[in-house]
Amino acid sequence: MAPRGKSDRRVEPSFEGSRDSSDFRIDADERIVGNGRPVKRAPKQASEEPAPRSRGKKARRARKSGGLFGPIRRLIYWCFVLGIWAGIGVGGLVLYYGAQMPAASTWAIPDRPPNMKITAIDGSVIANRGSTGGEALALEEMSPYLPQAVIAIEDRRFYSHFGVDPFGLARAFVNNLTGQPIQGGSTITQQLAKNLFLSPERTFERKIQEVLLSFWLETKFTKDQILAMYLNRVFFGSNAYGVEAASRRYFNKSARDVNLGEAATLAGLLKAPSRLSPARHPEAAEARAQVVLGAMREEGFVTDSDLKTAMSQPPAKAKSYWSGAQHYAADMVMDEVKTLIGEPKADVVVETTIDLRLEEAAEKALNTILTKEGAKLNASQAALVSVDATGAIRAVVGGRDYAQSQFNRAAKAKRQPGSAFKPFVYAAALEAGALPDTVMNDAPVKIGNWSPENYDQKFRGPVTIASALAQSLNTVAAQLANQVGPDKVVSLAHRLGIDSEIQPNASIALGTSEVSLVELTASYAAFMNGGYKATPHIVKRISDMDGKVLYEADYTNPPRVLSEPVAATMNSMMNRVINEGTGKAARLDGWQAAGKSGTTQSFRDALFVGYTSIMTTGIWFGNDDGAYMKKVTGGGLPARAWKDYMTVAMKGYSPTPLFGTGRSLELPPPAPVEQQPEQSIGDFLSGILPGGGTRRNEPAPDEYPPAPPRPVQDSASIEPPVSRNRAAPAPARIYPDEPVYQARPEPNYRRTYGDVVPPADVGGRRDYREYREYREPYDAPVPVAPAGARRGPIPPGEVGVVDNYPEGRRTTLFDILMGE
């Protein structure tokens, strides 16, 4: 068989050790291409030597590491990867917490808590009351420095961002990861969202919800609207929410009027309201204000000149707490408004009867005397209330310092009035038939188990009741109360305006039942105004921010509670108290005044209540714990304070006489003591034996002097008398030419705010609901002295165990010998 060709020959691989396996390689010139034939390259030059093996490894490592920029490229790469995963995680959290929130279509700005703006009679602001402490202002109403200062220190990019500052948000995120509290980085929009909707807790959930709400606010409102809402709701410390409340709290002025330095102080408070408060830490507040001013200069809000002027101003000083007597009045307004219209649901304006000039004078009068003599005489507190003829409260001071004690001693404290209650006893005696010159015996008297004594423990014998009132004789007042009847005295006191419960006991004449200073003072006003009830009130009108009237007081048609002769007589008698009696310290230059002092047992309380033809004022001195003062009487400190205050209060008024004591209206002087005629033996024996003889009296005048003419009143404006409590026939007219004044019936007035029924026009004028109910016997006819009663009080039936002698009997020698 012929041998095969060379091409058919099989070549087996060789594993001989003569050739190193590492040398087995295919060069580039031995590659097989196309037709399977190897392609040979040109032979290498002799100079081209293969590179060392180690150099190839370094090259491979260099290519693998990426060279000099490899680490940077890898850092960018992993940052990008981590950013994607972080975005996915944050997106998941946003979706998770966002799903737990209500639908955005249901989101709405919550109503701002209602504010009660309380104004004085001249329209000036007394105080703001409510949970915010101030009214809301439009951005245009505020001082321009306020929004500029807040933006400069809180959110410089406020007008350029979309509600969230990414850098600030990232910083807060990192702080939370490292265990630090989330702080800083929040925009004004985020802070508003937190204040409006969220709790103050610092969690991821709250932060994410805050961001979502910020986006919603930015799409729903303009930047100016967001800034205005923020400035009217943000907390500035000391219970002040909003710039208006803070401005009045720290600077006692409106946010409309703050200057550059004050605006910087307020803006600085936002970082830490308690720690930077000018009321607690004025140095820290000033330092922070300087930082705010620097930020405002950097932003171009102020010039170097403005900055220099602001920094040269003295630091803002604020009192630690609300202070000023006007806040006692504001607290009274709060209580009364709730009884008039219920709890307000929106901002309201309450116009009061307070005169800030008188309020300041009252506070000064009390504090001046307490500062000079309070410690020496152990008198630590005082109160004052001043009303006009209708009962409108013109000034009220509830204590020495509102910042130390907010308890209103004029309205809420009830204390024994002492002898200041005696005018009600004497007025009841006049209604029973007594006259100013009726003679009573100032001598030891025993009523049941009670033996009243005079202040000086002396007795003056026979005295007229006018003199007894001027000298504040306890024995005479006790006898009068016993003769007239305690129940009659209680009835008259209630009729004049005492609302507190009064015990009809024998000691009522000495003021042993507790009353408030407000009701006692308003009751005296019935003497001043000629016999009409003066209902104490401090609220004049309530309206909403749109000007709609929700309530308006109307006391132009009060009920008559005293006849004119009784009112005129009481004015004359109490005028003697000031001219020649226990109230001499209260004399006013150029003014006719009347009043009565009162001192309780062991000098616990001292009062003086007095009036001119214009105003009635009551003042109390004492201690909250009932501690004894050092012989302070009503004719002492209270009477002097009354004079100081009334001297200021009467400025601007023309002096006019008291009702019934003016020209041609002087009451007759006390009857002169008659000379005893020569006595026969029969007269002598009748003076020894009990039951004999009668007291001779000077004939009384036929009638009281005529009262001054009443002001002309349009008959169309007078409503027919209708009882408030029950249907009753109209009482007989006391004077034929005058109407009988009585309380009007309760109109249909719903208290719910927002469902207020405007008072209807009645008879050409508006009839408004009164907030105090007239109690019986206010609707009863006014008692009138019986015709022909001229010889003393009419004795009632036996009261207690005291003897009630027949009318006209006088004390005999036998009575004296028997100790009766």
Catalytic residue numbers, as ranges: 154, 419
Distance CA 501, CA 514 (A): 8
Task: Count CB-CB contacts under 10 A for residue 272.
Answer: 13
State the number of CA atoms in the 13 A half-sphere of 434 facing the CB: 26
| Close Cβ partners of 779 (under 8 Å, ≥ 6 residues apart) | 559, 723, 724, 725, 726, 728, 742, 743
What the block records as the tokens of 273 is 């309201």
CA distance 634 to 625: 19
Q: Give the dihedral of Cα atoms 476, 477, 482, 488; nearest 10 deg.
A: 150
| Nearest partner of 619 among 517, 739, 495, judged by Cα | 517
Question: Using the 8-state DSSP alphabet, how is residue 716 labeled?
Answer: G
Picking from 394, 328, 398, the residue whose alpha carbon sits closest to that of residue 121 is 394
* Angle (nearest 5°) at CA 504 between 502 and 509: 85
SS3 298: helix
| Strand pairing category for 765-766 and 32-33 | unpaired
Q: How far apart are the first and last CA of the chain?
A: 186
- The Cα 736–Cα 814 span in angstroms is 50
549: β partners? 543
The CA distances from residue 99 to 47, 108, 217, in Å, are 77, 18, 18
Q: For residue 527, which amino acid is it?
A: F
Q: What is the C-alpha to C-alpha distance for residues 308 and 281, in angstroms, rounded to an integer?
A: 23
SS3 content of the chain, % helix, strand, coil (to 5): 40, 10, 50
Residues 6 or more apart in contact with residue 736 via CB below 8 angstroms: none
Contact 562, 580 (CB under 8 A): no
Of the CA atoms within 13 Å of residue 681, those in its CB half-sphere come to 0
Q: Which of 154, 142, 239 is nearest to 189 (CA)?
A: 154
Read off φ and ψ for residue 129, nearest 5 degrees.
Answer: -125, 145
733-739-740 Cα angle (round to 5): 60
Token digits of residue 14? 């060789």
Cβ(292)–Cβ(267) below 8 Å: yes
Task: Give the Cα separation of 217 and 603 in Å (integer).
Answer: 65
Q: Are the beta carbons of 418 and 599 closer than 8 angstroms?
A: yes
The two three-digit tokens of residue 792, written as one number: 């003393």
3-state SS assignment for residue 595: strand
Torsion sign across C-alpha atoms 416, 417, 422, 425: negative
* Whether the Cβ atoms of residue 239 and residue 113 lie closer than 8 Å to each other: no
Cα 609 to Cα 734: distance, rounded to the nearest angstrom? 29
- Within 178-222, where are the H helices? 188-197, 204-220
- From the CB of residue 507, how many other CB atoms can be counted at a distance below 10 Å? 17
Instruction: Give me Rg for the CA atoms of the chain.
Output: 46
> Are residues 481 and 509 in contact, defined by beta-carbon separation less than 8 angstroms?
yes
Continuous segment of H or E residues that includes residue 765: strand 765-766
Dig out the tokens for 118 from the structure.
Answer: 């309380």
**In 428-497, which ranges are E strands?**
439-442, 461-464
